[in-house]
Amino acid sequence: IRDFVDQKSKGYRDLVKVTDKDVVEYYGNMDKVVTFILLKNKDRAVIDQARELIIAKEDVTLPWKRIGPVRYAQIESPALRQAFTLEVGNFQMAEEGGESYLIRVVHKEMIPVKALDTLREEIEKEIIANKERELFEGWLASKRKSAQIKLLAQ
């Protein structure tokens, strides 16, 4: 399986480009450590309802899952990467991998980082790896969606 993934990744290398904007955006998130809480459900309506309860400031207990504290480089999920820029207390909705999410930032801490020039090469490698992973996951999701799998009872 690893050989197959490596082969697919090599095929994506020509498609993946890193811009200065990508590097600056990535670097701009490296000075933060964030803690999230999230709700996850296959049914978008459940997430929409939870969102409305939060907006209405209803006092309800929701089954939040805590993630963090994490650094930007530790996050693989595009939805969490996007939520990394939210201010404490803010939330966003996302869809990923057939699931709907409500993601809220509950804590954010600033940390020191080295100068951009000293980290640029490392950042570029990480961005390439992330983009290749997203392309592969998109390809895999499309294959799963188009597969006709029948489970037979034993």
Q: Tens place of pLDDT for every residue, the chain, 154 residues?
A: 667 666 666 666 667 888 999 999 999 899 999 999 999 999 999 999 998 888 888 767 888 999 999 999 998 888 888 899 899 999 999 988 788 999 999 999 999 999 999 999 999 998 888 888 888 777 777 777 777 766 677 6
- Please tell me the number of Cα atoms within 13 Å of 34 on its side-chain side: 27
